[in-house]
Every structure is written in C-alpha cells, then in structure tokens.
Structure 1
Amino acid sequence: MSSKQGVILYGPPASGKDTVTAALAELSPRYAQFARLKVGTGKSAGYRMGTAEQLRELEAADHVLYANARYGNTYAIDRPGLDAAFAAGVPVVHLGQVDGIRALVNGYPAAWTVVLLWCPRTVTEQRSAGRGDSDTAARLAAWDATREDLDAHPDLAWDLTVDTTAVSPQEAARLIDQLLVQRAGAASV
C-alpha cells in the first residue's frame, strides 16, 4: 500500500465539498484542496487557471489523468499537480464524475479514501441560491448528471457516505480524518 494518502470527495454541486475541505484543513494543516487545472472563465478560487495550450502540452506528455467539461470550462487533474499536492500533505480532490474517481484510483499510486457527500436536489438549489450563484440552473443540471452517474455505477464502493443535511462539516471532517488515521495505522502493521 502506498504511504501517500489522498481524499476524493464526490458529490453533486453544493453537497459540501468546499465546506468539508475547509473543516478538514481546520482539523489538520496536512489537508489541502487539490487545485485542479481550469481552462476557461469564471471562478478562479480553488483552481490553477491555465490555457488550452498548457492543457494540450500536459496531454501530449501523458500527464492528464482525467479531464472533464462543465459550465463551459475544462477541468483537469494532472500528474505534476498531484505530485506537488502530495509533497505538501494530503490532497483533497473534488469530483462529480465516477470516471474521474476511477482514473485517480487506477492511475495515481496512493491510498485514496473515497467519500460520497450527498444532499437532495432541493438542498442544492437552496444552497446555490443562498450563496448567490448566478448559474443555479446549470448546477441543478449537474446535480441531475451526478444522480445519473451514481445510478449508472451501482457497484462503486464508498469508503464513507455522508448526508450533508444530517452531518455537520466538522463531523464529516472528523470521520474522514479518523478513517485515514485508521488506514495509516493498518498499513504500518
């Protein structure tokens, strides 16, 4: 088993990926959100903004583990970015596609803890509107796509499932951290 540990938070928009990641960082400075490469416009916080040319160069070097298009942008998970994130601690990767989970788990050697964060569609709508998103309709379409993705992959095993309407971000972070500590202990035996 790899000594490198990483966390994958999978869930629809507004399921709490950013909030739980912030709670993990408060719990321990070793946790940090993995900044995916983003080619496009809009929100830049939490991303490494790049160009189409940079993405093509990474693809040509076979350094892109996974890329997807959403909200008119392209988001990529790249080997050099993950290498740097693991060197700094425990990266927390946000995903909304099962194919992305499989690409990471199968394509990057690390002990990945895969967590499903879930909330109902109505909660995504309320949270999105409450935080002032200008693209709530697109986020609801992404929620629908996430539900379809889950339904298409009923065999996917989750290390932890968290209903973010019933569990606080701090409790979710504590559960994730506890799981990583247990796994690290088991790997050292």
Structure 2
Amino acid sequence: MTAALAQLDQRYKQFARLKVGAGKSAGYRMGTSEQLAALEAAGDVVYANSRYGNTYVTDRPGLDAAFAAGVPVVHLGQVDGIRALLDGYPADWTVVLLWCPREVTAQRSERRGDADTTARLAAWDATREDLITHPGMVWDLTVDTTETSPGESARLIDQLVRRTGAARA
C-alpha cells in the first residue's frame, strides 16, 4: 500500500519504526536497549509494543525526521498505538483501517514465504480482538483489501489526505 501511495506522490514514505531486537531489519531503524532507555528517559517514546520477541518504537525524533522528509505513513496494528500517536504527536493525521479476512492473511503470508505465518495469524487475532474491545475508534477510511486493489486504495487515501490538508508541502 505504501509503495502504491509513493507511486502517486513521492512525498509518501513509510515511517521506519525503531526496532530493538533481532530478525528482519529492512524497513526499520535498528536500535539498542540503551537507545530505547534514552528515548524513554527523554519522554520521546510516543508508542512502543512488543511482538515476535522484539520491541517496536514510534518515537518523536523519528517522526520529526519523517515529517521533514515528506508525508510519513505509519503502520500500526494496535488501537492503543493509534490513539497514542494521535494524542502524543499532534499532526494532520489521516487514520485508515486496511483489513482482510484471516484466511487471506494466511494465504498472503504463505505466498510471501514468511517463516512466521502462525505468529502473524496470532497478530491478526489480537488486532481483531483489539477492534472489538475498542469500538469507539474512528477511522477516516476503511478499506477491504480483498475488494480494493492497492492502486485504488492508494488513490482513495491520497484523495482523503489532500482533502484534509495533511499532504501539504
């Protein structure tokens, strides 16, 4: 989805969360426990969560740099994380729920060759439960990715972002 957005406008860039742990490093800013402790001490952790044996951090300095470089696209799978971002980092956020059925998540994960499909399905289950237990979350746009192509989804998101002014240069 982020790649499709970037094709529409090069200012769209995926926000690289700070990752403390091991495993896949592509798309992350790899960090240490000491860096995380320093961010926490400075009050610069907007949101952190642990999953797959790692800690993923949305941090104020990272967001500052992302906004300076363009229009950040922040991927979060937890309602608490979205609320923390909205409350903890004032900006013209556009909140989009991208959704697909669990079976489709499994098929996509297997097609990508993910070694952790079981963990990804557990994350899907946790996100679904999160959405049920936080019914008051308001989405600016909801997209069923089984019915809407990445290109069309990106076009809808871009239109919404431009309408709300979040993509100002």
Match of 1:128 among 109, 114, 118: 109
State the shift of 1:155 in Å: 1.1
Runs of at least 5 residues in structure 2 that lack an aligned partner in the other structure:
none
CA deviations 1:67-116 (Å, max 9, x no partner) are 00000000000000000000011000000000110011011110100000
Q: Which residue of 2 aligns with 1:179?
A: 160
* Structure that is richer in strand per residue: 1
Question: Counterparts of 2:123 and 2:23 in 1: how far apart (Å)?
Answer: 16
Q: Which residue of 2 aligns with 1:101?
A: 82
Q: Once superposed, which parts of structure 1, at least 4 consecutive aligned residues long, lie more than 6 Å away?
A: none
**Are positions 1:35 and 2:22 aligned together?**
no
What is the Cα-based RMSD across aligned positions, in Å?
A: 1.1
**Are positions 1:76 and 2:57 aligned together?**
yes
State how 1:11-160 maps to structure 2 within 5 Å.
20-160=1-141
Question: Counterparts of 2:135 and 2:101 in 1: how far apart (Å)?
Answer: 18
TM-score by length of 1: 0.87
Q: Which residue of 2 aligns with 1:170?
A: 151
Runs of at least 5 residues in structure 1 that lack an aligned partner in the other structure:
1-19
Q: Give, as a single letter, the amino acid of the residue that structure 2 aligns with 1:94.
A: H
TM-score by length of 2: 0.97
Compare relative contact order (CA 8 Å, sep 6+) and give the higher one, 1 or 2: 1
State the shift of 1:184 in Å: 1.6
Question: Counterparts of 2:123 and 2:48 in 1: how far apart (Å)?
Answer: 16
Question: Counterparts of 1:142 and 1:108 in 2: how far apart (Å)?
Answer: 25
Paired residues in the alignment total 167
Question: Counterparts of 2:163 and 2:34 in 1: how far apart (Å)?
Answer: 42
Question: Counterparts of 1:144 and 1:180 in 2: how far apart (Å)?
Answer: 29
Q: Which residue of 2 aligns with 1:3?
A: none
